[in-house]
Amino acid sequence: MSKKNSDVISSSPNALLNQFRGGLMKGAGYDASTLKKKPLIAIANSHTEMTAGHNHLGRLADKVKEGILIEGGEYAEFNVPAPCDGIAMGHDGMRYVLAQRDLIADIVETHVRSQAFDAVVFIAGCDKINPGMMMAMGRLDMPSIYLAGGPGQMNIRNTPTFTSSIDHNDYHDDPEGMAESLTCSTCGACEIMGTANTFQCLAEVLGICLPGSSNIPGWHSDKLKAARATGQRVVQLFHEGLNARQLLTQGALENAATMLMAIGGSTNGTLHLPAIAHSAGAELTLEHFERASAQVPTLLAISPNGPWGLQDLWAAGGMPAVLHVMQKDINTTTKTVDGGTLQDVIDSAVVRNPKVIPARDNPHRPTGGMIAFIEDGDMIELDILNGRIHADVTEDEVARRREGWQPMLKEVGFGFMDRYRRHVRSASEGAILD
């Protein structure tokens, strides 16, 4: 069993402080004497009313709480910001979204460390919030479990023009269909393989969520069952002493880099996975992604890579089924949060729709420093087959441009963003803060 951090609330060497802290807890509705017998579980939530991928997380947290109580634990929920990339696009707000990833990680880490929690449930759904939570998980290295908010549903599914494709590229000649393919009809992350669903899927690869739970749509009753089971499991993790870094290992993170290619995941994976690895004491470099890209086919045709949505992936068997198909390409001995290994998950998985999750050998393999000196009018050659980008600019011209080059510094004003810009590392290092 893990050491009970929360014992400090009522059982420290200082009797006066014990009495004072007990009084503070009583004012919040807790019984300090009861806490002596139970682990105190933090629920790091990211519920927000304005974001479809997060506006249902309050209800999921309620089910997590039920599970914690059933298993004999106590809980305390807190929330972090949950910015929507889509809302931030096209205006100054987009500068602040990536920065919030590290802010979220900092908030969770500092709050959990300061308040003597024994274990943590992380609940998130979209974009920068998922990796921010996973970074905090790696830093804290406590008994931890992740609960994905799940995908939503695009409204094109509910129209008479639905063709089995949710991808907007299939509705260019149908203005109404195009509009509905861009409209979320339910709670849950946008039903495409963007950053949100990429990291919900990769949570299954990393073994930090209950197997099969991530792809359950946010609106489905099975998500409520998964939330309750997540609450039960986190208490068990505390008693078993299974901590986050036993899951977020080098092998698990390399598996994630491989499966990022297989699922046709967001290119932001190459930004966030190295940051998560760094937080967990591991390392992922661009070379890991290059090797995976050369060896692994893009198995899934989830929009925007094809017609299917995440709802189709879930119905076809979800990420456990994808892992089953790709098992020869990954290390299946890595641990999972349910106490087994990735191989155990794979052995119980079933592919229910081979159109959505095809055999490994069927999919098409993706044939997939100077940028600061490129100017309008330069001809760029993209050699996808050989993985090469060539600018038709002479070495003398590059040298001339280099001499007069100055980094572009856009005005950010006083405050958080100015401080962030001075400390953030390059994207190739995960854009982590020094």
Identify the sign of the CA torsion 59, 62, 68, 71. negative
Question: Mean pLDDT over residues 330-334, rounded?
Answer: 98
238, 143 contact by CB (below 8 A): yes
Q: What is the pLDDT, as a whole number, of residue 368?
A: 47
Q: What is the pLDDT, as a whole number, of residue 159?
A: 94
The four Cα atoms 282, 288, 293, 298 give a dihedral, to 10 degrees, of -10
304: tokens are 């925007």
SS (H, E, C) 256-322: HHHHHHHCCCCCCHHHHHHHHHHHCCCCCCHHHHHHHHHHCCCCCCECCCCCECHHHHHHCCHHHHH
Q: Which has the closest alpha carbon to 64: 111, 120, 112?
A: 120
pLDDT at 157 over 70: yes
Q: What are phi and psi of 45, to 5 degrees?
A: -100, 165
Which H or E run contains 88?
Answer: helix 85-88
Q: What are phi and psi of 196, to 5 degrees?
A: -60, -60
Q: What is the pLDDT, as a whole number, of residue 164?
A: 92
Query: What number of other Cβ atoms are within 10 A of residue 189's Cβ?
Result: 31
Q: What is the pLDDT, as a whole number, of residue 373?
A: 78
SS3 3: coil
Q: What is the pLDDT, as a whole number, of residue 414?
A: 62
Which H or E run contains 124?
Answer: strand 119-124
Task: Answer with the residue of higher pLDDT: 161 or 273.
Answer: 273
Q: What is the pLDDT, as a whole number, of residue 418?
A: 74
From 48-57, 161-170, 414-423, the region with the lowest mean pLDDT: 414-423
- At 243, the amino acid letter reads N
pLDDT at 366 over 60: no
pLDDT at 369 over 60: no
Please state, for a pLDDT cut of 70, what percent of the chain lies above it. Answer: 96
Judging by DSSP bridges, how do beta strands 119-124 and 144-148 pair with one another? parallel
Residues in Cβ contact with 105 at an 8 Å cutoff, skipping those fewer than 6 apart:
132, 133, 135, 136, 139, 279
Residue reference for tokens 């040298």: 399
Instruction: Band the pLDDT of 3: cuts 50, 70, 90.
Output: confident
Encode burial over 75-100: b for 16+ CB neighbours within 10 A, e otherwise.
bebebbbbbbbbebeeeeeeebbbbb
List pLDDT tens digits, range 411-420. Answer: 776 677 777 7
Question: Mean pLDDT over residues 350-376, rounded?
Answer: 78
Question: Mean pLDDT over residues 262-275, rounded?
Answer: 96
Is residue 38 classed exposed, middle or buried when 0-12, 13-18 and 19+ CB atoms within 10 A define those classes?
buried
The superfamily (CATH) of domain 38-152+187-347 is: Response regulator (3.40.50.2300)
Terminal Cα distance for the chain, rounded: 34
From 114-128, 167-181, 274-288, the region with the lowest mean pLDDT: 167-181
Q: Which has the closest alpha carbon to 258: 246, 249, 270, 271?
A: 270
Alpha-carbon span 288 to 260, nearest angstrom: 11
Residues in Cβ contact with 217 at an 8 Å cutoff, skipping those fewer than 6 apart:
150, 151, 152, 153, 186, 188, 223, 310, 311, 314
Q: Where in the chain is the domain with CATH 3.40.50.2300?
A: 38-152+187-347
- At 233, the amino acid letter reads R
Q: What is the pLDDT, as a whole number, of residue 63?
A: 98
Question: Mean pLDDT over residues 126-142, rounded?
Answer: 96
Question: Mean pLDDT over residues 358-376, rounded?
Answer: 71
243: tokens are 């901590």
181, 154 contact by CB (below 8 A): yes
Q: Give the chain's mean pLDDT.
A: 92
- Return the axis-axis angle of helices 250-262 and 269-279, rounded to nearest 10°: 170
Question: Mean pLDDT over residues 182-204, rounded?
Answer: 96
